[in-house]
Amino acid sequence: MKLIFTLFSIFAFFCSAYSQNWLTSGNSGTTSSNFIGTTDNQPLLFRTNNIQRFHITNDGKTVVGAGLPGYDAILTIRSNSGALGGSKLVLDGANAISNPGLIISTTNTNHYYPSITFESANWGATVINQYEGLWHSVPVGKRYSWIIGTVRAMRLTTNGNLLIGTETENTARLKLSGSGGMLAEFTDAGTTAGYIRIRNSGTDYTDMGLEGSGLVSLKSNGTAFLYGNSAGSVNVGSSTIDASAKLSVTSTTQGFLPPRMTTTQKNAISSPAAGLMVYDNTLGKYNYYNGSGWQELGAGASQWTNSGTNISYATGNVGIGTNAIAEHKLAVNGSIIAEKMKVKLYGNWPDYVFEKGHKIPSLEEVEAFIHKHKHLPDVPSAATVESEGLDLGNNQAALLKKIEELTLYMIEQNKRIEAQEKKISYLEAQLKK
């Protein structure tokens, strides 16, 4: 721009008011009607060393260098020479000049609203990389930096990533860093609603934005699924938020599904908070923690079946005075009194002892076992009964087995006695002869 102004000043200086020839030493007596140029539809060319240096086209466009205007521009500067990083256009001013070195403005009447401004080095403190404003920094990877004073406010990296307030690059296309709390603000001046869209390489996208009146929404492929308001309340499925509810769920086709787990998993939850709710798969009921223990929520489907005056529980276990039921169908922490009790075993009752081919241990084997273990075979030891309790049904079966084995021992012993008695009677009869 300074170059253009200088050239036109030289032209005006040499103009003659009397259409005289322009002198290399200068002309006098010129008027405002004098000019250098053409009066027909032809361009004006300026050369040095017979090489085109300056060119004004017939439609008023200016080219510094050779060639035609680029992209229909009013001013085109062309040069194929110069060292790496050499300047194509230099704007310089004295230190007393406080205006920007270059303003590309959107209007020809007001220079306070430029589209791009390169400020002079006199503005602000010491600058980075010699210039404030937009800087193409070759030594650090051909990145573009926007510098204010001594601070690199923004950087466009060689990977195409934009960094604002940070020098650390990752895979993010846009990375913001600040210390004021709010990193970014987006304003849609044309409406009370606005949104930010994130799209993948396919057709899916997510919108996050304002719906008006302080209502925030999240949408997937254009369908909203979550709403929140300035009071901190949330509704899943509807923009209508009840002021009395912190969380609402709205649907006519789907329900609310809390965490589902077994009783063992529920009891393993560390430090449950009062009011915590889960669905117990073992019990088939909702459970909530009241601060000291788990409680069933509501009536639910009863596990008990009524038949007249009888009540039965076919699918689960029962604990009375205890939660340590384990694998037992009935666990009682306390005493039980009954006039009659029947134990019905579904296993083999030890009548198999009398089956043909069943072998019972010899008395010598039983004696050796007793000497080693201090109790009968197949009968629990005192230590086992003390630690695990006594299984009445199995114990009765074990005792019956021992009685049946003892009966067989006695029958065998009786046979031996009878044989011995016959032998003794025979021997006595022989002695009397």
- Burial class for 147, CB neighbours closer than 10 Å (0-12, 13-18, 19+): buried
DSSP string for 338-402: -S------SS--GGGGGSTT--PPPHHHHHHHHHHHSS-TTS--HHHHHHH---HHHHHHHHHHH
The residue length of the chain stands at 433
The closest of 38, 39, 20 to 28, measured between CA atoms, is: 20
Do residues 366 and 372 make contact, with C-beta atoms less than 8 angstroms apart? no
> Cα dist. 132→166, 167, 243, 331 in Å?
18, 17, 53, 83
Count CA within 13 A, CB hemisphere, residue 123: 16
Q: In 92-214, at which residue ranges do the beta strands (DSSP E only) sit?
A: 102-105, 114-118, 133-137, 143-148, 151-156, 162-164, 174-176, 194-199, 205-212
| pLDDT value of residue 346 | 66
pLDDT in tens, the chain (433 residues): 454 555 445 555 444 334 557 677 778 888 888 888 888 999 999 999 998 888 899 998 998 888 777 767 888 888 776 544 556 666 665 555 554 455 554 444 444 333 344 444 443 333 334 344 454 444 445 566 777 766 778 888 888 899 988 888 898 888 988 887 887 887 877 788 888 888 998 999 999 998 888 899 999 999 999 999 999 999 999 999 998 989 999 999 999 899 999 999 999 999 999 999 999 999 888 999 999 999 988 655 566 777 778 777 777 788 888 888 888 888 889 888 888 877 776 667 888 888 888 899 998 999 999 999 999 998 989 998 888 888 878 888 888 889 989 998 999 899 999 999 999 998 988 888 7
| pLDDT value of residue 87 | 60
Name the pTM for this structure: 0.40
Q: What residue ranges do the domains of the chain occupy?
A: 194-249, 260-296, 341-427
Q: Which amino acid is at 407?
A: T
Structure tokens belonging to residue 41: 């539809």
